[in-house]
Amino acid sequence: MFGTKPEDRATPAGLNVEFAVNVLGHFYLTQLLLPTLISSAKSSSDGKVRVVNASSTAHMFSKTGKHGPIDYRTLEGLRIILIGNLLFSNGLARRYGDQGIISISLHPGVIQSSLFRDTPTTLRKAVYLIPWGRVGYPRKDHLDPEKENELWTWLEEKVKELA
């Protein structure tokens, strides 16, 4: 959903489509699945279930850690979405870890896809690779519980408005 065409950038509710799909949508789906996740954790052999959200090391290069009005067609817009997934994953782990939910975000690697099909070619040339299978550490400001709570509250409010 990164780099959508201009006519496809807003949801009917006026939200940016990339952020709505990639952050708000994941949040809402997870909220709907919470009862099942919690009961599945209780009945699993190790007492745990996992929720995995895709993020990326690209968040490390963000100029801001805030959600809200931003041009999501840009690389910085993608980074904000990745920060959103990181903060959401951390928030889920903090809020439901004691009920057996393990929540992580990961950098899935770089693969050939049509993700950047509608972005200018100049944005498609930069790639940052990290060794596979290694635990990475986000920027400290992207682990800020205050930012996490701010995003979580915003997501909850948006879900209430839209549901």
pLDDT (0 to 100) of residue 127: 36
User: Tokens in use for 86?
Assistant: 């990181």
* pLDDT at 64 (0 to 100): 59
Location of structure tokens 């990475």? 136
C-alpha–C-alpha distance, residues 100 and 118, integer Å: 40
Q: List pLDDT tens digits, range 93-113.
A: 999 999 999 988 877 765 555
CB 51 within 8 Å of CB 103? yes
Residue 73's domain comprises 6-162
pLDDT at 124: 43
Task: Please list the ranges in the chain whose pLDDT falls under 50.
Answer: 1-2, 4, 65, 67, 122-131
28 is catalytic: no
pLDDT of 105: 81
Question: Measuring CA to CA, which residue among 103, 85, 5 is closest to residue 49?
Answer: 103
Read off the CATH number of the domain in which 49 is found: 3.40.50.720
pLDDT (0 to 100) of residue 55: 75
Work out how many domains the chain is built from and give that number: 1
Residue 82 lies in a domain: yes
Tell me, yes or no, whether 1 lies in a domain: no
